[in-house]
Amino acid sequence: MKGVIHWVSAAHALPIEIRLYDCLFSVPNPGAAEDFLSVINPESLVIKLGYGEPSLKAAVAGKASKGQTCTS
């Protein structure tokens, strides 16, 4: 596996909530399911806690910003 580790200063880091999004449905065609709620991916949103750069304090809720794309 290849990846990048981003180091954050322990003395200056801010606690942050990280939201990891995946496909909403666990099947390619949710409309074909008898009940679409039965094929919702329970892992479509995973919330983690972490630490970020102090510059994140200036971020505005609801304003678009460039984030990190995770691939697996």
State pLDDT tens for residues 22-71: 999 999 999 999 999 999 999 999 999 999 899 889 988 888 776 666 66
pTM over 0.75: no
- Give residue 6's pLDDT: 75
Domains identified in the chain and CATH numbers: 14-54 (2.40.240.10)
CB proximity list for 63: less than 8 A, separation 6 or greater: none
User: What does the DSSP 8-state code read for residue 23?
Assistant: -
Write down how long the chain is. 72
Say if residues 15 and 49 touch (Cβ distance below 8 Å). Answer: yes
Res 44: pLDDT: 97
Asked if the model's pLDDT at residue 72 lies above 60, the reply is no
